[in-house]
Structure formats: C-alpha cells, structure tokens
Amino acid sequence: MATIIEALLAAIDHHQSGRLAEAATLYGRILEADPEQPDAAQFLGVLHAQTGRPADGARLLRRALALRPDSAGGHSNLAGARQTMGDAAGAEAGYARALRLDPLLADAHASRAAALRDLNRVPEAARSAQRALALLPASADALVNLAETALAGRRGEEAERTAHRAAALAPGSPAALMMLGSACAAQKRWDEAEAAYRAALDLAPGYGAAWGNLGSLLAGQGRFDEALAAFAAAEERGFSGPSLWSARGNARLAMARPAEALADFDRVLQARPGDAGMRWNRGFARLLAGDCEGGWPEFDWRRHDARAEPPWRRFAQPTWTGGDIAGRTILLYAEQGLGDTLQFVRYVPLVAARGARVILEVQRPLVRVLSGLPGVERLIARGDPLPDFDLECPLMSLPRAFGTKLDDVPAAVPYLRARLLYTSAAPAQEPSVGSGWLRRENSRKD
C-alpha cells in the first residue's frame, strides 16, 4: 500500500503533466486519510484555482496556511487565487507578505507585478517584473507580466516583443499567447489577436482570462453574439470582475439591450464607485431605456472621465445646470462630433428665450451652417479667442439643464433650413443642386 508521501509525489506528477483529474482525485484521497496534510491542501487549492474554482482553491489554501503559516509559497498561492477572483488589493498584500518571508521568491515578484498593474501602480509593477527576471532570467511568467506592464503604458510594440520572448521560452504557455494577443489587439491587428487568443484556449480550454479577452475583442468587432458566448465561458471558468462586466455591458448596450447592460454597469460601480467612464456608460443605458431623469445626470459624468482623449475642457466659470439665467452671458460649445452639434443646437434658442446672451462656439466647418440660428449673439469657431462670459455649458448637457423627458424633447423642426445664395456673378437661371451653389442656412420654424 502506498504511503501518503508516495501518493503525494504521484499526485504532483499528474498535476505537472496536465493530468488534472487524476491529480485532484489523489489529493482528495490524501486529505481524506490525513486532513492536516498541508502539501495536499495547498496543491489541491492551486489546482482548483487553475481550473476555474478560485473560491474553493482559496479555502484550501487558507487551510494549508493555518497548518504552515510561515510558508512563503502558500501565501503567494493564496494571493494568486485572490487575484483570479478580482481582488487585486488582497492579492498584492498576499504577495508582499510572501516576499517578506522569502525576498528571493521570483514567482511572487512576477505575480505581484500583475496585481500592482491592476491597481494602476504601473511603475511599481514594472520594477516587480524586472526583479523577477533578475532572479530568474528564464521566467516566462515574469516576461508576461513585464509585457502587460508595457501594455498598460500604451507601449504595444514593446509588449509584443516581450510576449514573443515569453512564448519562445515557454512554447506551451497559454499566458504568453494571451499576452501576445493583447499586444496585437493594442496595435489594431485584430485577426492576429484573435488567432493568439484561440491558440491559448486550444492549449488551456479552461483559461477564463483568455475567454474574457476574446469576448472583448469580438465585441469590438461587432460580433456580439460570439462575444456574449465568450464572456459566459469566462465566467463558467471562474474569471469575472469589473473588466468583464464593463466589456459585456458595452456589448449589450450596442445590442440595444439596456436593462441587461445596466445590470453589468451596476456591478462595476459597486466595485469602482468613482469610475466616471462607467457612470457615463450607465447614463447612456438609462437614456436608451427611456429613463431621462436618471440618465441625464449620469451622462454628465463624461466631463469627469480623466481617460478621455482629448481631455475634457475646464473653465473657471461655473457650469449652468438650469435655473435663472436672465441678463447673463453664457458660452455654449460643441464637444464631440458634427452630428452631435447639429442635434443639440436645437436647445440654443431656448437658452436665449430665458434672457441669456448666448455665445455659441462650434466646429469651424459648421460656422456658416449655423450662422442664422436664432438667439445667438455671437458665433465663433472652436480655437478662436473666447470673449468674456459668466457661465458655460456644453451643448450635450443642455437636456439636463432643461430637465428634458421623452415627451418634451424640443421638436420645433426644421430648425435648420437650406437656402440658395448667389454671388454677384451668378447666372440668371436657378442653379442645380449639384452646381455647388446650395448651402444650408439655419432658422426656426415660425
């Protein structure tokens, strides 16, 4: 009859060779025979975390640490399970504790880099990955985390080079292939990115993070049904968290399924209540669902999104959000595309009707188009010097200021009209539409 040590060695061999079912069975039998066998508890915990059961893995790893509290590897493994569950802060603390016990533990340095990156502590993440490589130059895991740090710093080509190094060191590493896919995606090489993600999944069908990344890629290409299937596969394999909920919510929003999108966005905001971009997305979803009262205030969070490119404009003057404005000068300005400007200038005459002096700033191509808009005291092109004003408001925030609901959207249309203009050398006959004489003029419908 095999001893517990012999059974443990056989289980570890199964585990390292990828025979995970056999390994799990043996680990379980060892723990039935000796519930206080710390190595069996630890390795079975690692196996659970690797195969999409990180919560079960964490319970076993805590049990192993109770039996062997000074195990640096045990603390590092528990931190890995926490990281898989989306607890980056708990994972980072666990890796730090492991490294206090054993500063030369290269794997803990490498994994801590990923947790630091998730916490947006990118310079520290890079240092941790470099430390891992100094201790273990052939560490594919350290290279993967170094590549991900480069990716977080928007250095896609560097990330790709580092991921290729990791894949060369460990040709069977799904993590290296997934990182290669992310590096290709960052450079908008979508086909190569998808191929790399699928190659990672061919090696490890239970790799939840790769399913999540594939889902995000497919959603970005408008392949929404495939994306939702990939997100479901990720969650079935234990990979979940704000990044997945956010990507899936955006996919559902694009599919005009706002109630489902809101459920995902709400989960993100429970974890990250100060995420301005997610509040903006939730505003979109509420508006699409017809909830104007809840949607417009959250839509205004777009102006607090520090990740926006280009950055949102900041003025010393206060923003008008409604109320008495008579006798005051207000700057109304375009903020996004030409179509958005043309949609929202319908509110400009309503601001003037409240007694305000309106300065309207729009994109330069629209200055002639909007030159006849009623209520505008001064029309200027974006980039030209601004005159003095008392208040400011972007055009797309005017619906909030007016408390717009679905049944009272300003509908005095057309508020833009075309007219024919002639130069002094114009021919006597009416020009055709295609002759270049026609331009748009703006006026209200009386």
Q: pLDDT higher for 359 or 314?
A: 359
d(CA 128, CA 138): 15
Whether residues 351 and 245 share a domain: the answer is no
Whether residues 36 and 178 share a domain: the answer is yes
| Lowest mean pLDDT across 167-181, 190-204, 289-303, 346-360 | 289-303
**Residue 349, preceding peptide bond in cis (omega within 30° of 0):** no
Whether residue 305 is contained in a domain is answered as no
Cβ atoms of 440 and 416 closer than 8 Å: yes
Cβ atoms of 199 and 179 closer than 8 Å: no
Per-residue tokens: 143: 């290279």
What's the per-residue H, E or C state across the chain?
CCCHHHHHHHHHHHHHCCCHHHHHHHHHHHHHHCCCCHHHHHHHHHHHHHCCCHHHHHHHHHHHHHHCCCCHHHHHHHHHHHHHCCCHHHHHHHHHHHHHHCCCCHHHHHHHHHHHHHCCCHHHHHHHHHHHHHHCCCCHHHHHHHHHHHHHCCCHHHHHHHHHHHHHHCCCCHHHHHHHHHHHHHCCCHHHHHHHHHHHHHHCCCCHHHHHHHHHHHHHCCCHHHHHHHHHHHHHCCCCCHHHHHHHHHHHHHCCCHHHHHHHHHHHHHHCCCCHHHHHHHHHHHHHCCCHHHHHHHHHHHHHCCCCCCCCCCCCCCECCCCCCCCCEEEEECCCCHHHHHHHHHHHHHHHHCCCEEEEEECHHHCCCCCCCCCEEEEEECCCCCCCCCEEEEHHHHHHHCCCCHHHCCCCCCCEEEEECCCCCCCCCCCCHHHCCEEEEECCCC
Whether residues 238 and 344 share a domain: the answer is no
Cα atoms in the 13 Å half-sphere on the side-chain side of 108: 24
Above 70 in pLDDT, residue 202? yes
The reported pLDDT for the residue numbered 309 is: 65
Task: Band the pLDDT of 307: cuts 50, 70, 90.
Answer: low
The reported pLDDT for the residue numbered 419 is: 47
d(CA 292, CA 273): 21
d(CA 331, CA 385): 12
Whether residue 276 is contained in a domain is answered as no
The reported pLDDT for the residue numbered 431 is: 33
Whether residues 430 and 346 share a domain: the answer is yes
Q: Which of 264, 288, 321 is the last residue of a domain?
A: 264
Stretch 338-354: mean pLDDT, rounded?
A: 92
d(CA 312, CA 89): 30
The reported pLDDT for the residue numbered 247 is: 94
- Residue-number span of the structural domain to which 60 is assigned: 4-264
The reported pLDDT for the residue numbered 243 is: 86
Stretch 91-112: mean pLDDT, rounded?
A: 92
Q: What is the CATH number of the domain that holds 102?
A: 1.25.40.10
Which of 53, 52, 18, 48 lies closest to 31 in space, CA to CA?
A: 48
d(CA 79, CA 193): 29
Backbone angles phi, psi at 441, to 5 degrees: -125, 155
Task: Band the pLDDT of 440: cuts 50, 70, 90.
Answer: very low
**Unique residue bearing structure tokens 């999104």:** 305
Whether residues 345 and 259 share a domain: the answer is no
% of the chain beyond a pLDDT of 70: 90
Burial 351-366 (b: 16+ CB within 10 A, else e): bbebebbbbbbbbeeb
The reported pLDDT for the residue numbered 330 is: 96
Which of 119, 201, 113 lies closest to 150 in space, CA to CA?
A: 113
Whether residue 228 is contained in a domain is answered as yes
The reported pLDDT for the residue numbered 11 is: 87
Whether residues 383 and 240 share a domain: the answer is no
Whether residues 347 and 223 share a domain: the answer is no
Q: Which of 229, 264, 299 is the last residue of a domain?
A: 264
Stretch 190-217: mean pLDDT, rounded?
A: 94
At 32-60, the pLDDT tens digits run 989 989 999 999 998 888 777 888 889 99
The reported pLDDT for the residue numbered 418 is: 58
At 226-285, the pLDDT tens digits run 999 999 999 888 788 888 999 999 999 999 999 999 999 999 898 888 888 889 899 989
Whether residues 13 and 144 share a domain: the answer is yes
The reported pLDDT for the residue numbered 438 is: 27
Whether residue 43 is contained in a domain is answered as yes
Whether residue 19 is contained in a domain is answered as yes
Q: Which of 264, 286, 308 is the last residue of a domain?
A: 264
What is the domain count for the chain? 2
Cβ atoms of 129 and 142 closer than 8 Å: yes
Above 80 in pLDDT, residue 219? yes
Q: pLDDT higher for 401 or 304?
A: 401
Whether residue 270 is contained in a domain is answered as no
d(CA 261, CA 122): 30
Whether residues 247 and 334 share a domain: the answer is no
Q: Are strands 416-420 and 438-442 parallel, antiparallel or unpaired?
A: antiparallel
At 10-26, the pLDDT tens digits run 988 888 777 888 888 98
Whether residues 224 and 131 share a domain: the answer is yes
Backbone angles phi, psi at 415, to 5 degrees: -100, -5
Task: Band the pLDDT of 136: cuts 50, 70, 90.
Answer: confident
Output 7-15 pairs: Cβ under 8 A, ≥24 positions apart: 8/37, 8/39, 8/40, 11/40, 11/43, 12/43, 15/43, 15/47
Whether residue 370 is contained in a domain is answered as yes
Whether residue 292 is contained in a domain is answered as no
Q: Are strands 329-333 and 391-394 parallel, antiparallel or unpaired?
A: parallel
Q: pLDDT higher for 143 or 306?
A: 143
The reported pLDDT for the residue numbered 359 is: 96
- Mean pLDDT, the chain, as a whole number? 86
Whether residues 139 and 227 share a domain: the answer is yes
The reported pLDDT for the residue numbered 434 is: 31
The reported pLDDT for the residue numbered 74 is: 92
Per-residue tokens: 226: 């495939």
Whether residues 217 and 357 share a domain: the answer is no
